Amino acid sequence: MNAQPEPSRDTTSLARLRFDNRFVAELPADPETQNFRRQVAGACYSRVAPTPVAAPALVACAREVAALMDLDERSCQDADFTAVFAGNALLPGMDPYATCYGGHQFGHWAGQLGDGRAINLGEVVNRAGQRWALQLKGAGPTPYSRGADGLAVLRSSVREFLCSEAMHHLGVPTTRALSLVTTGEQVIRDMFYDGRPRPEPGAVVCRVAPSFTRFGHFEIHAARGDLATLERLVSFTLRTDYPELGYDPAAPLAARREVITRWLAEVCRRTAVMIAKWMQVGFVHGVMNTDNMSILGLTIDYGPYGWLENFDPDWTPNTTDAERRRYRYGQQPQIALWNLVQLANALHPLIEDVPPLEAALETYRGAYAEAWSTGMAAKLGLGALAGEADEALLGELLALLGQVETDMTLFFRALADFTPLDAGEPDLEGFLALVGEAYYVPTQLDTDYRARLAAWLASYAARLRADPLSAARRREVMRGANPRYVLRNYLAQLAIDAAEQGDNSKVHELQDTLRRPYDDQPGREHLAAKRPDWARQRAGCSMLSCSS
């Protein structure tokens, strides 16, 4: 087993954190205590310590996440904080472990996966009684690392840290990120999978969530026929993460089964809301394997994700998926349902009846349709999408966005400033001037496109005039639904380039800007600009690999 990090000195408010490590207290542990790669059966986790690093240095901390654990921002600047969240020290009450899970990867069962480079430090309970699990990503090998080293590089860690917080401030359900620490060590990675690995700066991110339980945690035990462990994990999850459902492990079998199916329906609902939010802000996850799906309906595992710049339903940011495009933007809603079906299959041995599970899965379709309709109505400045005519209006707009290279974020943001005339046809040239910043190749706006856009604009203007929202309220709603700032791929790469040279200022600037993504921020217009031509094909700015 790794050398145990030294306990932290009692010098900051860190020492006042209260740990209640229910996961390790209530679920079966791996009896093997040595840290080597292996199959782990009959257990939900293996105890393993983080690997100490040579020279940890804090790059950034999210004060909002620190506050969730009753930590002030000053505590984040303390040397003890950096030591703990680099993996060099443990606080009293921490009991680190890595969890066992499996998963379907790109549609195929992959067997045991597990926390290969994530180590859970423990679960903090704050003054409000909220439970927050702390997890280090890139803190060294675990029994689930397979052939990997359990480490992470700075480029992927910057992307994870920034996007976790950016998504939260956009209103998308997500895990959070407390800190980003460099290790002072080099990590060897073959970024392009071309046989030319190179050293890169190492880093560790501390992720924070009420729970990091994934669909794959249930799949692995079902696949192995280990129903006793599966039932214990389901019982724990319901009692800890879904106490409102009132699961009683001592209740009659029929009652327990009824709660489990209601729980599956709630997971479906939460997942649907999350996916609809992704689609509305143009986020593409890139690796929607079942082991990357949260049981709480949170966005988890920020690997080769990306943001739609020119609107293209077939775009995926993941080079591994470049041929099949399984996880492309437009297919994310369908993939989420497919993944939920795999979760239902894992729960079937506890239910032993298909119709209740099918009924629970149907929750997804209705919840997604409602969340999508509500969100897109707000993006268009309508009180609601009412009937087939509104659906057709939206569908035609999305088709127009894809007909020429149109920046989704910039177009919708500019649309908030469109004011229909009291009567008559809208001024097409005036509208094009309003949204012109959103077009990547203005020469694509040919006669046919202009005619089609003019017809849509006339229909949209008439619909706005018929809507009960006032012009002022409509603009307010649209600006609250259409962000000015998102974590564009090229901006993240520029921050990474600077950070690799020891300059963290661009990370800090992006972090601060993305705290208020719906606000105009004078002086930061450059962070709202569309992708420049130089970034069209550059690595890290268009597509990314899973190498991190």
pTM for the full model? 0.95
Same domain for 66 and 123: yes
Domain match, 223 and 346 both: yes
Q: Residues with Cβ < 8 Å from 254, sequence gap 6 or more? A: none
Element (DSSP H or E) covering residue 364: helix 354-380
Looking at the structure, do residues 140 and 170 belong to the same domain, yes or no? yes
Contact 484, 525 (CB under 8 A): no
**Same domain as 427, residue 364:** no
Q: Which of 148, 177, 212 is the last residue of a domain?
A: 212
Report yes or no on 481 lying in a domain.
no
- Tell which residue, 30, 28, 21, 14, has the closest CA to residue 71: 14
Question: Which of residues 353, 378, 403 is at a domain's end?
Answer: 378
Instruction: Please check whether residue 302 is in contact with residue 159, taking contact to mean a CB–CB distance below 8 angstroms.
Output: yes
181 DSSP 8-state letter: E
Instruction: Determine, yes or no, domain membership for 546.
Output: no
Same domain for 200 and 53: yes
Taking the C-alpha atoms of residue 305 and residue 547, their distance in angstroms, rounded to an integer, is 12
Task: Give me the active site residues, please.
Answer: 291
Judge if 187 and 245 occupy the same domain.
Answer: no
52 & 163 share domain = yes
Contact 69, 45 (CB under 8 A): no
Q: Is residue 475 part of a domain?
A: no
* Residue 6 confidence (pLDDT): 59
Residue 11 is predicted with a pLDDT of 39
Q: Which domain covers residue 396, as residue numbers?
A: 384-466
Residue 392 is assigned to a structural domain of this protein = yes
Within a domain: 155: yes
CA distance 257 to 352: 9
Q: Are residues 19 and 167 in the same domain?
A: yes
Nearest to 79, CA basis, from 50, 58, 101: 58
Are 460 and 522 contained in the same domain? no
pLDDT at 73: 87
In total, how many domains does the chain have?
4
pLDDT one digit per residue (tens) for the chain, 548 residues: 456 665 554 434 898 899 999 999 999 999 999 999 999 999 999 999 999 999 999 999 999 999 999 999 889 999 999 999 999 999 999 999 999 999 999 999 999 999 999 999 999 999 999 999 999 999 999 999 988 899 999 999 999 999 999 999 999 999 999 999 999 999 998 776 667 789 999 999 999 999 999 999 999 999 999 999 999 999 999 999 999 999 999 999 999 999 999 999 999 999 999 999 999 999 999 999 999 999 999 999 999 999 999 999 999 999 888 889 999 999 999 999 999 999 999 999 999 999 999 999 999 999 999 999 999 999 999 999 999 999 999 999 999 999 999 999 999 999 999 988 777 789 999 999 999 999 999 999 999 999 999 999 999 999 999 999 999 999 999 999 999 999 999 999 999 999 999 999 999 999 999 999 999 999 999 999 999 999 988 878 877 766 55
Same domain, 183 and 258: no
Closest C-alpha among 343, 373, 336 to residue 358: 343
Residue-wise pLDDT for 26-68, tens only, equals 999 999 999 999 999 999 999 999 999 999 999 999 999 999 9
Per-residue pLDDT, 13 = 80
Whether 541 is covered by a domain: the verdict is no
241 and 327, same domain (yes or no): yes
Q: How many residues comprise the chain?
A: 548
In the listed set 435, 466, 497, which residue is the last one of a domain according to the structure? 466
- What is the chain's Cα-based Rg? 24
Is residue 17 situated within a structural domain?
yes
Nearest to 456 by CA among 404, 399, 402: 399
Q: In this structure, is residue 160 part of a structural domain?
A: yes
CB atoms within 10 A of CB 303: 20
pLDDT digits (tens, 9 = 90+) for 505-537: 999 999 999 999 999 999 999 999 999 999 988
Q: How far apart are CA 487 and CA 481, in angstroms?
A: 16
The CA–CA distances, whole Å, from 519 to 115, 452, 512 equal 37, 31, 12
Q: How far is it between the farthest Cα atoms of the chain? A: 77
Shared domain check, 293 and 173: no
By the 10 Å C-beta count (0-12 exposed, 13-18 middle, 19+ buried), 430 is classed as exposed
